[in-house]
Copies of this chain bind each other. A is one copy, B any other.
Amino acid sequence: MATESDPRFHRSSEAILAAARELLIEQGPAAVTHAQVAKRAGIGRATVYRHWPRVDQLLAEAMATVPMPLFDAPTAPIRDWLHAELTALARLLELHDVRAVATTLAQGALWDPAMDSRRGQFAGVLSERLADALDSAAAAGEVELRTTAQSAAALAIGPIYYRSTIEREPVDSDFIDAAIDSLGVWSAPSR
Contact = CB atoms under 8 A, between A and B. Distances in A.
Interface string A132-174: 0000000000000011100101110111111101111100001
Interface string A76-120: 000000000000000000001001101111110110000000011
Contacts of A32: none
A151 B104 CA distance: 25
Contacts of A179: 155, 182
Contact of A159 (B122, B123, B158): B158
B147 A158 contact: no
A96 to B, nearest CB: 7
A178 interface: yes
- This chain: how many copies in the complex? 2
A13 interface: no
Interface residues of A, number: 43
A127 interface: yes
A63 interface: no
A23 interface: no
A181 interface: yes
Nearest to A182: B182
A178 B174 contact: no
A85 to B, nearest CB: 16
B123 A167 contact: yes
